[in-house]
Chain A
Amino acid sequence: MTASRETLMAYLDGELSAEEERRVAAEIAANPLLNAYVEEQRAVKARLDADFAPILSAPVPERFERMVMEARVPRRAAQRNFFSLTLPRIWLPAGAAAAGIAIGIGLSNLFGGPAMMASNNGALIATGSLARILSTELAAEQGATATTRVGLSFLNRQEKFCRTFQTASGGNALAGIACREGNDWRIIATAASETQNASAFQQAASPLPKTLREEVNDMISGQPLNAAAERTARTNNWTH
């Protein structure tokens, strides 16, 4: 049976399972018409990438950064507001250069410690101790005093390894999902952890906030990794 146009598109866009992908790739290799379609679409995508890449890497106009940084933000009703009133005030210089710093400073200020996340071409990626822990630690091996805990590891539909984590510093607790992208851990979503204080958090593993559990359910392909699979994934640097 020849692959349909929808299947070829799904193949091009990484929407097929690994097995389907292998099967379709073989069909394409054997069929010049399918191959021509795929090559054309790759050429179109390459041109789009070339046209739009400069915009992604161009510096963001300062006025947009200032809008975000200086806004008075409406307080959420009946939801725990993530950042605590006990955080020290910080001074930020105005200017486009501040944006890259602002994210690092803003986030490090939330944690009262070194920055754990940074912006890279429109993506939030883990840095510092968070990046190291995502790459090297497993839930089964972490001790009770770990301030950054790893939770589940799983594969998403694009066959990338993703991990949940919870971290706490200075009384503020954050839970999140990160997925492997090249050598980075890209932060997909975060939420305030449901644990109210850091010492209770350290004593027992907290449940992941409901919104993140739902996100994991939407993202996951198959079942979470068991301990052996996690060890293997770690050995392979969380890539295939």
Chain B
Amino acid sequence: MEDFPFPNVVGPKMVAPLDHDRAQMLAFLPRLRRFAFALTGRAADADDLVQDTIERALRSLDRFTPGTRMDSWMFRIAQNLWIDALRAKKTRGQTAGLEEAEQVSFDGRRAVESRLMLSETSRALAALPEDQRAVVALVLIDGLSYREAASVLEVPIGTVTSRLARGREALAQRVLGSATAQWET
């Protein structure tokens, strides 16, 4: 095997061989970005959260147990960092909720131009209380099972299902003007 398998690329940068944990981490990045955007609702905040999560995960990699799920582990890190950041904002007296006028589309264009592009559903998601938003992001958007979501959030499965029920019905109410949203058994 040749030393350098890409002869047509200029200026190769030598990096260490990629161990398996970091290969899994790389593979997970698109889902992490999606999760961060679902939580924060803003492109800039989402990318900050992704960056902070990767940094924290890399620093803590010696505490990751091989054979356990990398995705659950990194979702947990991201979720905790996000909650910490929200608490810090509240402590500093900044508005915790997302003003609709401040939301920018994913590619960073200004809010005024992008309001038409940001969907009703994304705005409804951003308006959910944080605990419901996290569960909706994990179960409805990423597709984790109730058990996996409970493991990420470190809460009982019953807590996941009750937050999920409230979250998805609030979305239905706001997005569809639902008449059945106030479901009673």
Contacts and interface: CB of A to CB of B under 8 A. Distances in A.
Interface string A89-119: 1111110000100110111011000000101
A77 B64 CA distance: 12
Interface stretch (A67-75, A126-134, A146-154, A225-233): A67-75
Interface string B48-74: 001100110011011001111110000
A36 B180 CA distance: 7
Contacts of B65: 211
B66 A75 contact: no
Nearest to A71: B58
Contacts of A20: none
Nearest to A67: B54
Contacts of A90: 5, 17
Interface string B36-55: 01100000000100110011
B26 A119 contact: yes
A52 B176 contact: no
A190 interface: yes
A223 interface: no
27 contacts: A2-B185, A5-B165, A6-B161, A9-B165, A33-B180, A37-B180, A40-B172, A40-B176, A48-B141, A48-B171, A49-B141, A58-B33, A60-B30, A67-B51, A74-B61, A77-B62, A83-B17, A87-B17, A91-B12, A92-B13, A92-B15, A105-B5, A188-B69, A191-B66, A192-B66, A209-B67, A211-B68
Q: Which of B20, B51, B122, B161 has the most chain A CB atoms closer than 10 A to its own CB?
A: B20
Interface in A22-64: 33, 36-37, 40-41, 43-45, 47-52, 54-58, 60-61, 63-64
A93 B9 contact: yes
A19 B1 CA distance: 54
Contact of A212 (B23, B67, B120, B147): B67
Q: How large is the interface on B (under 10, 10 to 19, 20 to 34, 35 or more residues)?
A: 35 or more
Interface of A: 2, 4-6, 9-10, 13-15, 33, 36-37, 40-41, 43-45, 47-52, 54-58, 60-61, 63-65, 67-71, 73-77, 79, 81-83, 87-94, 99, 102-103, 105-107, 109-110, 117, 119, 121-124, 157-158, 174-175, 188-192, 209-212, 215, 218
A69 B171 contact: no
Contacts of B47: 61
B6 A158 contact: no
B54 A64 contact: yes
A48 B26 contact: no
A23 B59 CA distance: 48
Contact of B62 (A60, A76, A93, A210): A76
Interface in B91-147: 106, 119-122, 125, 136, 139-141, 145-147
Given A68-B58, A107-B20, A122-B31, A15 B146 contact: yes
Contacts of A33: 180
Given A4-B185, A48-B141, A73-B58, A106 B17 contact: yes
A121 B30 contact: yes
Contacts of B68: 189, 211, 215
Contact of B139 (A13, A57, A93): A13
A94 B11 CA distance: 9
Given A9-B168, A90-B17, 18 more contacts: A5-B165, A36-B179, A44-B121, A52-B37, A55-B37, A74-B62, A83-B17, A83-B19, A91-B4, A91-B6, A91-B12, A117-B23, A122-B30, A124-B23, A158-B145, A188-B69, A189-B70, A192-B66
A48 B141 CA distance: 7
Contact of B147 (A41, A65, A123, A218): A218
B3 A99 contact: no
A124 B30 CA distance: 12
Nearest to B4: A91
